[in-house]
Amino acid sequence: MTAATPVQVPLVTEPLGIWGSFRNARRNLLELIPELATRQPIVSGRTGKRWHMVMDPDCNRRILKERVEDYPKSDVTKMVLRPAIGESLFVAEGAHWLWQRRVAAPVFSHRNISALGPVMTAAAERASERLDKAAGRAANLHDEMVTATFEVISDVTFSGGEAFDRAGVHRAIDAYIAETAKVSLLDIIGAPEWIPRARRLFSTSAMREMKRVADEAIEARRAAGHAGVPDLLDLLMAGEDPKSGRQMTTSELRDNLLTFIVAGHETTALTLAWALYLCAFDPEVQQKARDEAQAVLGDRAATAEDLPALPYIRRIVDEALRLYPPAAFLSRSALAPDNLLGREVRPGDTVMLPIYALHRNHLLWPDPHRFDPDRFADPKAIDRYAYLPFGDGPRICIGASFAVQEAVIILATLLARFRFAPVPGRAPKPVLILTLRPEGGVWLTVERV
């Protein structure tokens, strides 16, 4: 293995059948993807029910934007996520989704995201202090990045709220993902949603407790208010649908805040962990990024205002999101007949966008498995629907700019101060359950610069 070809997952080269699909899905959803998906624009098959994997930009635009109403999120996606985040933005469909999106969109304006920059800078400083204590030895950078990004999302969601048990919420999220996010055999064969999945039946106590804690924090904020820079809870509580005037209830606020907490720390932590792994894997890229960061920052931590002056570090983030997209597999259910590249799509078919395969497709990316941040030197040269780390269309991730700002701030701060190197024999394995995690962690040696 060389710096040019960082770790990847061997994809499927022969039909799996129902039992093979179940076995692989339980172990790693990436192992459902046929290797053909990295060389063709569409692959179709049948495993209990008909399915299509789509890697064509024009078809992706059709599914995610032009006919989005005909391709709602799959039943499996909703079954996995509803117990945790209810009918929030990520799960809701139609009019219920639309009014929530209209309320939430202003919350994630450029102005509001920039105003939250100091929280990200402070988290970068604390991460730097922790790594300073680890200097001279190996550390699990995935765990470190989870700590840093959970601090950020906690501070920008329930800032100053002693009523909010951050550690308890974190434990509940991890337990939920570990116990319920894995695909069941009933999911593979397309069994209807009303047939219970046993593992998910026994995972509700931690989620109930997490929701109770969040509800109490919201009600405490309603009663006492909040001084200082408005956080996400303040902004959502004040928001209203400009068309109907509707505001979110406590349960709607809670479900959306839990969505932001789950998505807002997990995905950014993964982006940072994979980016640090890639920098350790390619010392030349790491040094170039360090030179840029040191020239801009000197001895201080990065801020939101520094982002325009850190273009190379932004490219590293973009390339990490290409090679290891946290949301590496999107699944939709076809509601209406369609035709995708000559393939008949029937109502009820599962239509998948395997983002991991899309981002490594030989028809779209030269030498696709190679780590090369300079692919993003001219973002306009990349087909918008060939690169989908945050999805696209009306349901594009609402927190994309938040995540990128946070990732660049933390990555620039750490690369300016530390040198990272791989630990022999400890290469991470990309494993997709709900998100694309590095199995075994991202173990790197840490040295002060």
Whether the pLDDT of residue 369 is over 60: the answer is: yes
Closest CA to 277 of 94, 389, 93, 438: 438
Q: Has residue 8 been placed in a domain?
A: no
CA 381 to chain centre: 24
Q: Has residue 1 been placed in a domain?
A: no
Q: How many domains does the chain have?
A: 1
Q: Has residue 6 been placed in a domain?
A: no
What integer pLDDT is reported at residue 158 of this predicted model?
A: 76
What integer pLDDT is reported at residue 2 of this predicted model?
A: 41
Q: Provide the phi-psi class of 342: left if phi over 0, else alpha when psi is between -120 and 50, else beta.
A: left
Q: Has residue 164 been placed in a domain?
A: yes
Mean pLDDT value across residues 355-373: 97
Distance CA 432, CA 324 (A): 10
Task: Identify whether the C-beta of residue 383 lies closer than 8 Å to the C-beta of residue 55.
Answer: no
Q: Has residue 3 been placed in a domain?
A: no
Distance CA 290, CA 307 (A): 15
What is the CATH classification number for the domain harbouring 89?
1.10.630.10
How many angstroms separate the most distant Cα atoms in the chain? 60
Record the tokens describing residue 128, joined without a space.
Answer: 């730097």
- Helix H segments across 359-420? 400-417
pLDDT band for 71, please (50, 70, 90 cuts): very high
Residue 51 phi, psi (nearest 5): -145, 155
Whether the pLDDT of residue 201 is over 60: the answer is: no
DSSP state for residue 352 in the 8-state scheme? E
Q: Has residue 329 been placed in a domain?
A: yes
Residue 431 phi, psi (nearest 5): -125, 125
- Helix H segments across 12-115? 17-27, 57-61, 75-85, 94-104, 110-115
Q: Has residue 68 been placed in a domain?
A: yes
Range of the domain at 297: 17-448
Whether the pLDDT of residue 162 is over 60: the answer is: no
Strand 350-353, strand 49-54: pairing? parallel
What integer pLDDT is reported at residue 161 of this predicted model?
A: 56
DSSP state for residue 139 in the 8-state scheme? E
DSSP state for residue 301 in the 8-state scheme? P
CB atoms within 10 A of CB 219: 14
Q: Has residue 109 been placed in a domain?
A: yes
Poorest-pLDDT segment among 257-266, 304-313, 316-325, 420-429: 257-266
What integer pLDDT is reported at residue 220 of this predicted model?
A: 84
Q: What's the Rg (C-alpha) of the chain?
A: 21
Alpha-carbon separation of residue 124 from 139, 264, 268, 278, 303 (angstroms): 16, 16, 13, 19, 10
pLDDT band for 231, please (50, 70, 90 cuts): confident
What integer pLDDT is reported at residue 160 of this predicted model?
A: 62
